[in-house]
Amino acid sequence: MNEMYLKFPSLSENEVFARNAVAAFVLPLNPTLTELSDVKTAVSEAVTNAIVHGYGGAAEGWIELKCRTDGDLLEIEVADRGRGIEDVARALTPFFTTLPGEERSGMGFTIMQTFMSGFSVSSAPGEGTRVKMSKRFGELEANAG
Amino acid sequence: MNLQGSRRGDNLYIYLSGELDEHSVAKVRERADKLIDDNAGLSRAVFNLAGLRFMDSTGIGFLIGRYKRLKKYGMDMYLENPDAGADKVLSISGLYSLMPKI
Ligand SMILES: Nc1ncnc2c1ncn2[C@@H]1O[C@H](COP(=O)(O)OP(=O)(O)OP(=O)(O)O)[C@@H](O)[C@H]1O
Ligand SMILES: [Mg+2]
């Protein structure tokens, strides 16, 4: 079992840092290139959402990233204390975005759900958003992926 | 993140390299749009993704944005050589129906 915890300000240059830190953390689990790429993409989605939506693009808040490995399972939590999501079910709908004018496609949550083995999000307006994801390494690739 | 363009015959080739995310997108967006504007009148633009080592949903938004700009000029858009990671993101979002992979 292993754990790590990172806390960084909501600056967009931390997107590359966050996804590569998680990638380095899971290397001992011998992920395939596809698994590694899935995890990096999902982390990038969650961290980008915290920066762009949670804190509205201003470097005004902190993002917490927790990772835990147990056997061949990786658990990830990405949390912000930003504006939160009013209607989580609607936010999870493919192509739903509240920022269409900024070239957002509304695919971030769909990608997290598709690329990871487990996914959940809890959020409340004014309180922030917490995304939990897990990935089991060595799982057979689903056809749908 | 880097972007280079070249013109061959009736095609505008745009080569992307590096990691495309929300941090790096602004710079390439501006350069891609300038290339497109300067080459309006060609019949198509081919985005070559061979050098792209990472792309998330920000890349989808970027590509759709350029697609819309090209459409205004009556130009078609195609994608070339995405790596396995980019290919997965592009497939899931259905982008190939707008901009076929060649
Ligand atoms: N951390 C967050 N804080 C506040 N709102 C969020 C957060 N994450 C997501 N949302 C809301 O959920 C919507 C959907 O998120 P999703 O990542 O699927 O799409 P997007 O970020 O809008 O577009 P894309 O990810 O394709 O660039 C967002 O438009 C936003 O309204
Ligand atoms: Mg998003």
Domain count, chain A: 1
DSSP calls for B31-60: HHHHHHHHTBTBSEEEEEEEEEEEE-HHHH
Cα dihedral angle (A115, A118, A123, A127), rounded to 10 degrees?
Answer: -90
Domain of A38: which CATH number?
3.30.565.10
Quick one: pLDDT at residue A141? 60
Q: What is the CATH number of domain B2-97?
A: 3.30.750.24
- Mean per-residue pLDDT for A60-82? 97
Give the domain ranges of chain B. 2-97
Instruction: Check CB contact under 8 Å for A45 and B23.
Output: no
Q: Indicate the pLDDT class of residue B68, thresholds 50, 70 and 90.
A: very high
- Whether this model's ipTM surpasses 0.90 comes out as yes
State residue A101's pLDDT score: 86
Q: How far is CA B97 from the centre of its chain?
A: 14
B98: chain A residues, CB-CB within 8 Å: none
Q: What is the pLDDT of residues A30-56, one digit of tens each?
A: 999 999 999 999 999 999 999 999 999
Measured in Å, residue A138 CA sits from the centre of ligand 1 at 29
As a dihedral over the C-alpha atoms of residue A145, residue A52, residue B3, residue B76, rounded to 10 degrees, the angle is 60
In this structure, the residue with its CA closest to atom 25 of ligand 1 is A108
Residue of A130, A128, A133 lying closest to A40 (CA atoms): A133
Question: pLDDT band at residue B87, thresholds of 50, 70 and 90?
Answer: very high
Q: Categorize the per-residue pLDDT at A142 as very low, low, confident or very high, splitting at 50, 70 and 90.
A: low
Gyration radius of chain A over CA positions: 15
Q: Supply the range of the domain harboring residue A130.
A: 2-144
Q: pTM of the prediction? A: 0.96
> Which residue from A13, A33, A40 is facing B23, i.e. has the nearest CB?
A13
